[in-house]
Structure formats: C-alpha cells, structure tokens
Homo-oligomer: A and B are copies of this chain.
Amino acid sequence: MSKLVESLALVKKTLAEVRMYNQASAVLNFDMQTICPKEGMEAQGAVDAFLSNKAFILQKEPAYIEACQYIYDHRGELTAEVCSSEVDAEFDRCLAESLHRDFAREKNITPEMQHERSLAYNKAYVNWLEAKKSKNFSIFAPSLAEVQKIQVREANLNEDRKETPYDTLFDGYERELTSRDLDDCFNECKERLVPLLKRIMASKKKIRTDFLSRPVTDEAQKTCTKYLLETMGFDFNRGAFATTEHPFTTEIGKNDIRVTTHYYPDMFYSNIFSIIHEGGHALFEQNQPKENYSHYIEFNKTMGMHESTSRFYENRIGRSREFISLIYPKCCELFPNVFEGVSENEFYESMNTVTPSLIRTEADEFTYTFHIIIRYEIEKMIVNGGDKVDISALPKLWNDKYQEYLGIRPENDAVGILQDVHWTSGFGYFPTYALGNMYNAMYYNKMASEFDIKSAVRFGDFNKINSWMKQNVWARADREAPKTWIKNITGRDFTPKDFLDYLENKYGEIYEL
C-alpha cells in the first residue's frame, strides 16, 4: 500500500472516531438546551468537555498531522486509480484541502496563545453580559480591545493570509469572498435600499397588525409546528423537533437532524417563521447525497450557504403570498381567536411590514441588511484599524450609522452596540447572514426560469422545490467555495442585484409605491 493510501486511511480512521465523540457531544448539547435540569448542567458540561478533549487529542497525534500534511502535499496524486473512482478522488482532494486550511489557521498558535485566547473570550463574555445588563459599554470596552488584539494577531499568524487581516478572518467563515466583494455588494445595497426605505416610510399604506398579539396556547403552536414541518417535507424518520429559548438546528448524525423553536403566547407568528427557518437548515442536511456521508467533508459548507437555504424557506417561500394562502386555512383552524375577522390578505401584509428597528434579530426582511452593513463596516474597521482604533468612540459611530441608514437612534448601548454576543469571540461572521439572502435570490430566479415556483408553493408541492434544491443547491455545497458554487448553480457571478430587485418589487407592491 502506498504512503498516500495509508495516510488517507489513517486520516479517515481518526475522523471516524472524532465523529463518534462529536455525535456524543451534539446529543449532550441538545440535551442541555432542551431538558437537562439546572443543577445537572455542570456535570453535563464536564462530560462534554471530557469527550471534546478526547477528540481534540486524536487530532493532535503527530502521525495524524503528518498524514494530513502528506495527503495535502500529494493531493495532485489523488486520482481515480488511487481513490477507486473519480468521484472519490474529488472528495479526497477536497478533504485534503479543507484539513490544510484548518491547520494553516491554527499551526502558529502556541498553547500559551490558545490558553490566553480562551481566557480572554470567556472574560469578554462575562463582561459583555454585565455591560449589556447595566447598559454601559465602558464595562465591555477593555474586553473588546483584548479580543481585537488576539484576532489581529491570529490573522497575522495564519499561514493562509489574505489581503487584509479582516479578509483572513472572514475567509474562515466564507472562503474565496473578500472584503472587496463585500464593499461592492453592500455599497450597491445602500444605493438602492436607502432611498427605497424613505419611500416606504412615506407611504400612506396602512397595514393591520392589531390581531398579531392575540393569545394562543402552546398546544396549538405545537400542532402548527408539526404541520409546517410536514408541509415543507421535513423527514420525521430522520429528525425531530423540540423547544428551546433560542431556536436552532443541530445535526446529531447523518440520519438525525433536529430543529427547535419557541412558543410565545402572544406572538403566534414567531414560532411559524422560526420553524420554517430552522426547517430550511434541516432540509439542507436531510437532503445531502448519501455518498457524501463517508467523506468527512461536511464542515466545508459555509454559513452563507446554510443561511441562504434557511432564509429561502423563511422569506422567499414563507413570507410569499402563495405560502400564506396555503397555510391560512390551517392557521384559522388552529388559532380561531387570532384570525377572527382577519382576511388572507391582511395576514399576508402583516407578515411583511417594514419597520426600521434597533434589534437585528427582530428586524424584518427588508431592513435586515442594514443591520448587517452597520456591523460589517464597524468590525472591518476594528480589525484593519489596529492600534489606531478608538474603541471608546464605537458606540457613537454605531448610533450614527443607525441614524444615517435607518433613521432611528438607540437610546442606550444595550439596544445599540451591545446587543449581539458575536464580538466576544471574534469578527467576520456577520456578513454571512446577508450573503445568504443574496445567494438565494440568485438561485430563486434560476429555479423560476425552470418551473412555476409560486404555483408549486400555492399547492404545497414542496417535493418539486426540494428536489430542485437537492440537485442544484445542496448536492455540491460541501465541495465548492461559495463563488464557484453560486456560479455553478446559476451560471452567473455573485451579485446582490437579484435580491435588491426582489425587495423593490415585493415591497413596491405592498406599499403601493
């Protein structure tokens, strides 16, 4: 057996064991968020740490690291002859490259730096909680400076450095895309969305929302959750749902994809869009081709790709007139007091109001992008500005940008710069949320050129939509970087144009512009 074949076998054997530990950790984490009692959490956390450490140690074995390096150095020789088929060879090359990217990122980080990082992030989290609670940015400021210092250092130590430190960090989340791409994209967004928002705000259109806070029971919401997941094509033989404070999706195993949601007694629609969003993530995972299972490249999918799917179902499908029409009768049946005297059109419009607001996670589909642009502009400056950044001046900058783009100003930092947890452990993640919307707008148009999506939604034919997604969007997501991936799906280069056109048309119609 050649050294290349041997190395590949060793890497896969290790990754198979790592996956065992990871699955156990996934179950422990799901358990902690769904049912574990308060005083059981500490021990559960200790078991999780114990197992994670076992997995970590496996990946620090010199023989494993050497094998990873060897297959990367000889990835050109991973051909059909060596790997048994051309398809397998492609997977193996892909694996070699992604393992190498991870190594490049961590290789020059010493154990001391690792320890320092871990302490700094934990401290930042604690300070952030405290700062948010007391609405006082100055409590968090020293930690933010510390996180900045560590992140810049790590960007500079990365062996796979990009043009700027921010580009290096961002590449860790959405590889191949650069801050130039983001600048172009977000500038185009601002050019078109700022004036459009002004027109919407000036519109005389009245949208009825009085019925949205009418009370509903958990039982009815649970039935609704089941109905929506079934409607979307979620496979209950290979998945389950539960409730948690913050909804999420987790892949316990290839045949066990779980979603969670929450039930608010006076916001029945919060569950609806949470579960459609998470259901979208789940469909992505449930529809991975079986042959991908054994190749250990699942971590190659980017967050932008994943968000594109969840937002495709949540917004493009879920908030469409046709989907609202499809679920309106069931909603009337489940929530009779909410829908008393409420027409289908009133339900549709209420789910598509545009309201500039301060909190990202509660933003509507239209204004959401502004929240991301603001965070992107500030975090890029923090990372690339280095020592020259005046951390204490950031809250004002944040508030000024909200004023400029959305016409509103946070009354305190808790609803301003302190609202998100992300910066307690790094930078570069936020743009992936917005990119998801832009990717899906592009592939929505491609799909629409092939069949009548609206009609499929109207008649609940999700099989048609999911099959197209499986074949075009999901099948190669773990083997391609986002730019290549979107071009292969649509035949076009990445652009925010489709997304902006969509917003213009949809909200132009709703607000009668």
Minimal Cβ-Cβ distance residue in B for A49: B20
The answer to whether B24 and A47 have CB atoms under 8 Å apart is yes
- Mask: chain A, 280-313; 1 = CB below 8 Å from B; 0 = not: 0000000000000000000000000000000000
A252 at the interface (CB under 8 A from B): yes
- Mask: chain A, 43-62; 1 = CB below 8 Å from B; 0 = not: 11011001100000000000
Q: Which residues of chain A from 171 to 205 have any CB-CB distance to chain B below 8 Å in the complex?
A: none
Partner of A240, one of B23, B28, B30, B36: B36
The answer to whether B240 and A42 have CB atoms under 8 Å apart is no
The complex places the Cα of A236 from the Cα of B38 at a distance, in Å, of 8
Partner of A37, one of B20, B34, B256: B256
Minimal Cβ-Cβ distance residue in B for A254: B43
The answer to whether A44 and B27 have CB atoms under 8 Å apart is yes
A226 to chain B, nearest CB (A): 13
Partner of A255, one of B20, B42, B242, B254: B42
Minimal Cβ-Cβ distance residue in B for A40: B256
A34 contact set on B, CB distance < 8 A: 35
The answer to whether A28 and B37 have CB atoms under 8 Å apart is no
* Chain A contact residue count (CB 8 A cutoff): 35
Minimal Cβ-Cβ distance residue in B for A217: B219
The answer to whether A44 and B237 have CB atoms under 8 Å apart is no
* Known contacts A20-B47, A20-B50, A47-B23; A256/B28 CB under 8 A: no
- Mask: chain A, 127-166; 1 = CB below 8 Å from B; 0 = not: 0000000000000000000000000000000000000000
A492 at the interface (CB under 8 A from B): no
A411 at the interface (CB under 8 A from B): no
Partner of A31, one of B20, B31, B237, B239: B31
The answer to whether A256 and B50 have CB atoms under 8 Å apart is no
The answer to whether A256 and B24 have CB atoms under 8 Å apart is no
A44 contact set on B, CB distance < 8 A: 23, 27, 252-253, 256
A331 to chain B, nearest CB (A): 20
The answer to whether B219 and A37 have CB atoms under 8 Å apart is no
Q: Most chain-B CB neighbours within 10 Å: which of A28, A40, A219?
A: A40
A74 at the interface (CB under 8 A from B): no
A236 contact set on B, CB distance < 8 A: 37
A31 contact set on B, CB distance < 8 A: 27, 30-31
The answer to whether A239 and B24 have CB atoms under 8 Å apart is no
The answer to whether A237 and B27 have CB atoms under 8 Å apart is no
The complex places the Cα of A236 from the Cα of B236 at a distance, in Å, of 30
The complex places the Cα of A23 from the Cα of B258 at a distance, in Å, of 22
A27 contact set on B, CB distance < 8 A: 27-28, 31, 44, 47
The complex places the Cα of A40 from the Cα of B250 at a distance, in Å, of 13
Interface of chain A, main secondary structure: helix
Number of copies: 2
A440 to chain B, nearest CB (A): 27
The answer to whether A43 and B256 have CB atoms under 8 Å apart is yes
Partner of A253, one of B17, B40, B252, B255: B40
A24 contact set on B, CB distance < 8 A: 24, 28, 47, 51
The complex places the Cα of A255 from the Cα of B51 at a distance, in Å, of 20
Minimal Cβ-Cβ distance residue in B for A50: B20
The complex places the Cα of A23 from the Cα of B237 at a distance, in Å, of 26
A112 at the interface (CB under 8 A from B): no
Q: Which residues of chain A from 1 to 42 have any CB-CB distance to chain B below 8 Å in the complex?
A: 17, 20, 23-24, 27-28, 30-31, 34-40, 42
The answer to whether A253 and B43 have CB atoms under 8 Å apart is yes
A253 contact set on B, CB distance < 8 A: 40, 43-44, 47
A238 at the interface (CB under 8 A from B): yes
A42 contact set on B, CB distance < 8 A: 255
A258 contact set on B, CB distance < 8 A: 35
Minimal Cβ-Cβ distance residue in B for A32: B27
A102 to chain B, nearest CB (A): 23
A252 contact set on B, CB distance < 8 A: 36, 40, 43-44
Q: Which residues of chain A from 290 to 345 have any CB-CB distance to chain B below 8 Å in the complex?
A: none
The complex places the Cα of A47 from the Cα of B23 at a distance, in Å, of 7
The complex places the Cα of A40 from the Cα of B239 at a distance, in Å, of 8
Partner of A238, one of B39, B219, B238: B39
* Known contacts A27-B44, A39-B255, then 12 further A-B pairs from the complex at CB < 8 Å, ordered by chain A residue: A27-B31, A27-B47, A31-B31, A36-B240, A36-B252, A36-B256, A38-B237, A39-B237, A40-B238, A40-B253, A43-B254, A43-B255
Considering the complex of A and B, which 5 residue pairs feature the smallest CB-CB distances, nearest first?
Answer: A40-B256, A43-B253, A39-B255, A20-B50, A39-B238
Q: List 30 A-B contacts (CB under 8 A).
A: A17-B50, A20-B47, A20-B50, A23-B47, A24-B24, A24-B47, A24-B51, A27-B27, A27-B28, A27-B31, A27-B44, A27-B47, A30-B31, A31-B31, A35-B240, A35-B242, A35-B258, A37-B240, A37-B256, A39-B237, A40-B239, A40-B252, A40-B256, A43-B252, A43-B253, A43-B255, A44-B252, A47-B253, A51-B51, A219-B219
